[in-house]
Chain A
Amino acid sequence: MGIFLDAGQSRGRFWSEVTQSAAPAGSAGRALVRVPVMTAGVTEAHVLFRNVQMAFGTRVVLRDFSCAFPRSKITCILGGSGAGKTTILRLIGGLVRPQSGTIDVAGTEISHLTESQLYPVRQKLGMMFQGGAMLNSLTIFDNLAFPLREHTRLTATEITKEVHATLAAVGLADVDTLLPGQLSGGMVKRAALARALLMKPEVLLCDEPFSGLDPISVKRIEALLRRINQQMGVTVLISSHHIPSTLRMADQVVLLHEQRAVIGAPNDLRNDPDPNIAEFFNEEVRDEDLHALAGSAA
């Protein structure tokens, strides 16, 4: 396996290329993985994957996957269904274990930790699950208050204040007494985001935060995530199918495509010389998104 600077660096990219010497049986040619170069003082990896192999039964999801997720940046993980987007988030949370390779989360190598050893690491993480994963039998207030009651010594009044403040921050009010089943999809996602934020995580993992939402809810959650990243300095990792949102908010994109991981800035990937990669982005890009992209670049 050789690591060398990508020729694209001369075009302003901070990538290296990792060519897989052990190509999978049956795969055509050598798989290509591009990994951002971690230059001291430029970017610091908050989460780091090194040569991670992950399979479910005989189906290999990640093969020799290496990637650095920079601190206080928004990284979007893109790819088709079953490409391994959610698996990457679950690996970071320690909910599944890699077959080989290492995963560093906030300076701790987690791939060999026991369940109880993972708990301190998870306290640095917040996860917004695709379906919300709210406890169905508890009200929204109790769902949010639950981690505070478990892990802090706050009084009931302080917990109430904290929960209400967080709910207000995600634009939810007067939902205290409602059950998760009584909320709309967008509201559940925002409540799940509020719960993920309550323990003030260093890394926020969002699994398909935009799926099944109307355009207004998408924009609202997008704005929330951007604000969390900018104001609190939280490292945000998003698995998504939603290309327009990715282009608007991502600092870095990890594209899982045909057993390859291509990593770079959204603009660079959109203009990638490989037509398959560029096509993946451009297919869903609308004019308004291009304007937004041009505006943010300026």
Chain B
Amino acid sequence: MAFFQDLGWRVLRLIEELGRMAFFSGGILRALVTRPIRLRRFIAEIYDLGVLSLVIICVCGATVGMVLGLQGYNTLVRFGAEESLGAVVGLSLIRELGPVLTALLATGRAGSATAAEIGTMVATEQLDGLRMMSINPVHLVITPKALAMTAVMPLLTALFIVCGLGGGYVVGVVLMGIDPGSYMSSLKAAVVFRDDVAGSLLKASVFGMLVGLISTYRGYTCAPTSAGVSAATTSTVVIASVSVLLFDYVITALWGV
């Protein structure tokens, strides 16, 4: 009996939390159409969340591409199909690894930083200070961050994929001696822009929205203590990572992207 009570309580808590998150999302949507438009804040957030993530995205993208190239070559060479390495690396990166790994990396770097920053503002009463100046913190602080995360995720994903393709090319062509024309032509023949590239970027946008929403929500609703900020940061990484993987399956199952 106690088990079912506990289960029921947890389900109710989950529904309540989802309801709060829906209200929070509504606040962000309302802020999007409220004047003044916070363009400067948005650009600053694009810099913080996007530009400052460039190095980690490039390094990880190139490394993943190189590993794919090596693993792909070792497998394909058994069947004498090493000329298809471009297609294997390209499709793996574009359809799956690019958006998912970029979202996980962005969660670890930018998502946790967003939750920590907003949480610190809560703990040091900065958001209350804004409210007392009749300034809506959701409009000024939250919306530019959530929107910037949604905007930068497809761009970071595209960069990750390009670096990955480069890494795969280096391993396949330079180290393993595959013909460069074969690598590129198999890549070009296998990848369909609308189904693969556009779908991948769409997926990345959904992940960006998820990470942006979860990180801002966790920061905004954290307990106003250092422990609360720490818990919000940790839970952002955990919840956003799990959500990205769950949504990845749902999107792939529903739309085949």
- A→B interface (CB under 8 Å): 90, 93-95, 115-116, 119-120, 122-123, 125-127, 129-131, 133-136, 146-147, 150-151, 195, 199
Contacts and interface: CB of A to CB of B under 8 A. Distances in A.
Contact of A127 (B124, B132, B136): B132
Contacts of A136: 120-121, 124, 126
Contacts of B128: 90, 93, 95, 129, 133
Contact of B132 (A122, A134, A150, A151): A122
B126 A127 contact: no
Interface in B121-159: 121, 124-126, 128-136
Contacts of A151: 133-134
Contacts of A199: 133
A88 to B, nearest CB: 15
Nearest to A93: B132
A89 B129 CA distance: 13
B135 A133 contact: no
A93 B120 CA distance: 21
Given A131-B124, A133-B124, A136-B124, A150 B135 contact: yes
Contacts of B124: 131, 133, 136
Contacts of B125: 129-131, 133
A115 B129 contact: no
A56 to B, nearest CB: 12
B136 A95 contact: no
Contacts of A150: 133-135
B132 A95 contact: yes
19 contacts: A90-B128, A93-B128, A95-B128, A95-B132, A115-B131, A116-B136, A119-B134, A120-B134, A122-B132, A129-B128, A130-B125, A133-B124, A134-B126, A135-B130, A136-B120, A136-B124, A147-B133, A195-B133, A199-B133
Nearest to A205: B132
Contacts of B121: 136
A196 to B, nearest CB: 8
A95 B131 contact: yes
A96 to B, nearest CB: 10
A181 B6 CA distance: 45
A297 B124 CA distance: 39
Q: Shortest 8 CB-CB distances between A and B: which pairs?
A: A133-B129, A119-B134, A133-B125, A127-B132, A147-B133, A129-B125, A122-B134, A123-B134
A269 B103 CA distance: 62
Interface centre among A120, A129, A195 (most CB of B within 10 A): A129
B135 A147 contact: yes
Contacts of B133: 122, 146-147, 150-151, 195, 199
A116 B129 CA distance: 15
A118 to B, nearest CB: 8
Contacts of A126: 132
Contacts of A135: 126, 129-130
Contacts of A127: 129, 132
Contacts of B132: 93, 95, 122, 125-127
A129 B131 contact: no
Contacts of A131: 124-125
B127 to A, nearest CB: 9
A195 B130 CA distance: 11
B134 A133 contact: no
Contacts of A147: 133, 135
A86 to B, nearest CB: 10
Contacts of A93: 128, 131-132
Nearest to B124: A131
Given A133-B124, A146-B135, A150-B134, 18 more contacts: A95-B132, A116-B136, A122-B131, A122-B132, A122-B133, A123-B134, A131-B124, A131-B125, A133-B125, A133-B128, A135-B126, A135-B129, A136-B120, A136-B121, A136-B126, A146-B133, A150-B135, A195-B133
A199 B121 CA distance: 22
